[in-house]
Amino acid sequence: MKRVQLVKLAHARSGDKGDASNIGLIALKPAYYPILREKVTSEAVKRHFTGICNGPVERYELPNLCALNFILHGALGGGGTISLRNDAQGKTMSTALLRMEIEIPDNEEL
């Protein structure tokens, strides 16, 4: 197995819904979607965002777009208008997720 950062497998966009951050994760190629689906679980995402996401993580599948949608509750320091963070609306949460590493078989071509 080899470790690979999600930035090699996916692109993403993020936004806010109150104090929840939504991150859409889109496979760069259709062949990567099953890998994302298997490896990027809500538990793994919750672990990755330790110290940022204080609530549960929900995951939804959009196979038609080869994409997953994550809702990270309690991840924006209170939400868009009351958060003291520079990134109060979680606009850069997309690439924060792309920092995550997953394990894939050595023979998987990227």
Residues at the interface with another protein (CB under 8 A): 11-19, 22, 24, 26, 28, 48-52, 58, 60-65, 67, 69, 71, 77-82, 84-87, 91-92, 94-96, 99
Q: What are phi and psi of 50, to 5 degrees?
A: -55, 130
Q: Minimum distance from CB of 65 to another protein (Å)? A: 5
By beta-carbon proximity to another protein, the closer residue of 16 and 106 is: 16
Which of 90, 97, 95 lies closest to 21, judged by CA? 90
Among left, alpha and beta (phi > 0; psi -120 to 50; other), residue 50 is beta
By beta-carbon proximity to another protein, the closer residue of 64 and 105 is: 64
By beta-carbon proximity to another protein, the closer residue of 2 and 47 is: 47
**Integer Cα distance of 11 and 9 in angstroms:** 7
Element spanning 94, H or E: helix 93-98
By beta-carbon proximity to another protein, the closer residue of 35 and 96 is: 96
Q: Minimum distance from CB of 110 to another protein (Å)? A: 15
